[in-house]
């Protein structure tokens, strides 16, 4: 426990803005692929904010926000509506943003977290609502005059944005980070967002306040923006804990304000005092009909929702895998699916297949992916091919060390394991007749080890097994060799 934590309790609520993977923008048919296009090429009168044009709701975005709400245990409103949030800023083409105020699509959900080394906690999800993103401002300095100016790229204007607001339920920077990690994982599992903080399609504002330990009332909160990694969110909250505790200790008041995280100096700096909600003059968007989501429609989406990471993890644990293994395998959906395909193709009893597949997917495959810095979707071996190798090792056709070599050759050549093993004479030698010669040769060549063995030194036999292994280029069945050695030495 930190010094701060003995006197004050930290209260954290997170607001996450997340871009949806739709083909077109939220209210027009322009392509939503803003990042890879030349500036100002994906624009039309609607997203440019021309007067007299009408927005049309993107159905795919609504399906995605409903999926998100369901995955976060939210109530999905039968009736919701869009509102105009008015504020003047150069990145806002219409002078207002279409958002949702009092009737969001999703509300009252929760997400269970459990940061490493700390207890579990249920974090309430206040709401998830739909809105549109703004244009992008690019700040430049004139090379000749040194004057600052801004360029505007309208491609991002009007792309679908989903805001996920949590209750002030988190108490430590680690909990806030775990919340974000799990939220990102879920959004990726259900395939609604790339949820990549570094790329800016998953942006988080952290609300942080302190209250004396034991107090019930919340303290005044500060909202921190500009974090572009999970670590930055963690560190910004930790910085606020110390800063606010210092102020409270000195008897100063915390002012409600927006602060920005500065990555270079690793501190937050004041940006502006908080505007109040009514400054936005929210009013219903007159150009859009209310959203009516029938229970049948929501039920259909619920039925199509993929298995979520937590449920999948529990299922894997049910197959006999450790929590650690299940965590690793469910980190992303592609890896979990690959693992399951390998286990299916191994085809032994389910828990045995799961164990074997887990060893390989977390072991050799994981190492290969790390080295190659690739995701599992780029892994070259088909699940059936890896399963073929796993079976051959499990049946003792090759030793596990040679199995690893075959694995490398499979990746290099694209050939199945059986073919590589046949053609290169890597098959394990288990026949006593075939091994007896090498065993006797090892005994004859190593009188010292033999003497040690007779003197009761247990490690001597391991040495002799090693000699036979070398002689057979690692192909000998170690168990059979040990048996033969014992037999030969005890006569």
Q: How many residues does the chain have?
A: 491
Q: How many CB atoms sit inside 10 A of residue 491's CB?
A: 5
Measured in whole angstroms, the distance separating CA 72 from the mean position of its chain's CA atoms is 16
Residue with tokens 């799961």: 354
Query: Considering the complex, what minimum distance in angstroms separates the CB of residue 135 from ligand ADP?
Result: 23
Helices marked H in 134-290 = 173-189, 230-249
- The answer to whether 230 touches 238, Cβ cutoff 8 Å, is no
Candidates 49, 168, 260, 466; binder of ligand ADP (CB under 6 A) is 168
Question: In terms of CB distance, is 207 or 409 closer to ligand ADP?
Answer: 207
3-state secondary structure of 291: strand
Residue 342 tokens read as 């390998």
User: What residues make contact with Zn ion under the rule CB under 5 A?
Assistant: 28, 30, 44, 46-47
Question: Closest by alpha carbon to 208, among 200, 218, 216?
Answer: 218
Return the one option of Zn ion, ligand ADP, none that residue 277 interacts with (CB less than 5 to 8 A, by type).
ligand ADP
Candidates 97, 99, 100, 166; binder of ligand ADP (CB under 6 A) is 166
Return the one option of ligand ADP, Zn ion, none that residue 168 interacts with (CB less than 5 to 8 A, by type).
ligand ADP
The region that residue 227 occupies, defined by phi over 0 for left and psi between -120 and 50 for alpha, beta otherwise, is beta
Is residue 138 involved in binding ligand ADP (CB under 6 A)?
no
- The answer to whether 458 touches 428, Cβ cutoff 8 Å, is no
Question: In terms of CB distance, is 56 or 436 closer to Zn ion?
Answer: 56
Is residue 306 involved in binding ligand ADP (CB under 6 A)?
no
Return the one option of ligand ADP, Zn ion, none that residue 449 interacts with (CB less than 5 to 8 A, by type).
none
Query: Considering the complex, what minimum distance in angstroms separates the CB of residue 256 from ligand ADP?
Result: 7
Query: Considering the complex, what minimum distance in angstroms separates the CB of residue 168 from ligand ADP?
Result: 4
Return the one option of Zn ion, ligand ADP, none that residue 197 interacts with (CB less than 5 to 8 A, by type).
none
**Residues of span 189-228 touching ligand ADP by CB under 6 A:** 207-209, 218, 221
Question: In terms of CB distance, is 12 or 417 closer to ligand ADP?
Answer: 12
Return the one option of ligand ADP, Zn ion, none that residue 30 interacts with (CB less than 5 to 8 A, by type).
Zn ion
Query: Considering the complex, what minimum distance in angstroms separates the CB of residue 103 from ligand ADP?
Result: 15
Measured in whole angstroms, the distance separating CA 221 from the mean position of its chain's CA atoms is 28
- The answer to whether 442 touches 471, Cβ cutoff 8 Å, is yes
| Residue 13: DSSP 8-state | E
Q: In Å, what is the CA distance from 406 to each residue of 281, 383, 392, 402, 427? A: 67, 15, 11, 6, 10
**Residues of span 11-30 touching ligand ADP by CB under 6 A:** 11-15
Question: In terms of CB distance, is 96 or 179 closer to ligand ADP?
Answer: 179
Question: In terms of CB distance, is 46 or 329 closer to Zn ion?
Answer: 46
Return the one option of ligand ADP, Zn ion, none that residue 15 interacts with (CB less than 5 to 8 A, by type).
ligand ADP
Residue with tokens 């002030």: 168
The pattern of x and - marking residues 267 through 286 that bind ligand ADP according to CB under 6 A reads: ----------x---------
Rg (CA), the chain: 30
Residue 321 tokens read as 């895998």
Is residue 257 involved in binding ligand ADP (CB under 6 A)?
no
Residues that bind ligand ADP (CB under 6 A): 11-15, 165-168, 207-209, 218, 221, 277
């Amino acid at each position: 426990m930190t010094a701060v934590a003995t006197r004050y309790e930290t209260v954290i609520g997170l607001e996450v803005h997340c871009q949806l993977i739709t083909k077109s923008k939220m209210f027009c048919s322009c392509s939503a692929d803003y990042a890879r296009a030349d500036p100002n090429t994906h624009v039309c009168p609607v997203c440019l904010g021309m007067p007299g044009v009408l927005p049309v709701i993107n159905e795919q975005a609504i399906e995605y926000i409903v999926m998100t709400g369901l995955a976060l245990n939210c109530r999905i409103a039968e009736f919701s509506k869009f509102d105009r949030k008015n504020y003047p800023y150069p990145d806002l083409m219409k002078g207002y943003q279409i958002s949702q105020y009092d009737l969001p699509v999703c509300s009252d959900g929760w997400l269970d977290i459990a940061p490493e080394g700390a207890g579990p906690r249920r974090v309430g999800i206040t709401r998830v609502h739909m809105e549109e993103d703004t244009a992008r401002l690019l700040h430049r300095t004139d090379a000749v005059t040194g004057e600052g100016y801004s360029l505007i790229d309208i491609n991002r204007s009007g792309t679908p944005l989903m805001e996920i607001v949590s209750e002030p339920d988190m108490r430590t920077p680690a909990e806030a980070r775990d919340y974000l990690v799990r939220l990102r994982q879920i959004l990726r599992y259900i395939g609604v967002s790339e949820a990549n903080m570094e790329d800016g399609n998953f942006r988080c504002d952290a609300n942080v306040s302190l209250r004396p330990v034991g107090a019930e009332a919340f303290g005044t909160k500060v909202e921190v923006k500009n974090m572009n990694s999970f670590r930055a969110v963690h560190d910004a909250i930790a910085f606020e804990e110390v800063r606010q505790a210092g102020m409270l200790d000195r008897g100063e008041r915390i002012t409600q304000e927006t602060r920005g995280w500065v990555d270079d100096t690793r501190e937050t700096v004041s940006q502006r005092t908080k505007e109040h909600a009514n400054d936005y003059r929210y009013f219903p968007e007159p150009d859009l009909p209310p959203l009516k989501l029938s229970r049948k429609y929501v039920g259909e989406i619920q039925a199509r929702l993929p298995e979520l990471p937590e449920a999948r993890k529990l299922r894997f644990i049910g197959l006999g895998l450790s929590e650690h293994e299940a965590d690793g395998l469910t980190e992303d959906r592609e890896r979990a699916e690959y693992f399951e395909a390998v286990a299916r193709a191994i085809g032994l009893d389910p828990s045995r297949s799961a164990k074997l597949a887990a060893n390989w997917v977390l072991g050799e495959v994981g190492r290969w992916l790390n080295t190659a810095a690739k995701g599992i979707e780029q892994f070259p071996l088909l699940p059936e091919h890896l399963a073929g190798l796993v079976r051959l090792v499990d049946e003792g056709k090759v030793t596990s060390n040679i199995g690893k070599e075959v694995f490398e050759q499979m990746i290099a050549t694209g050939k199945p394991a059986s073919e590589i093993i046949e053609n290169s004479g890597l098959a394990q030698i288990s026949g006593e007749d075939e091994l007896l010669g090498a065993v006797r040769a090892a005994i004859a060549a190593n009188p010292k080890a033999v003497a040690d063995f007779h003197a009761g030194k247990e490690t001597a036999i391991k040495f002799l097994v090693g000699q036979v292994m070398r002689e057979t280029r690692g192909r000998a069945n170690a168990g059979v060799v040990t048996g033969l050695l014992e037999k030969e030495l005890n006569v």
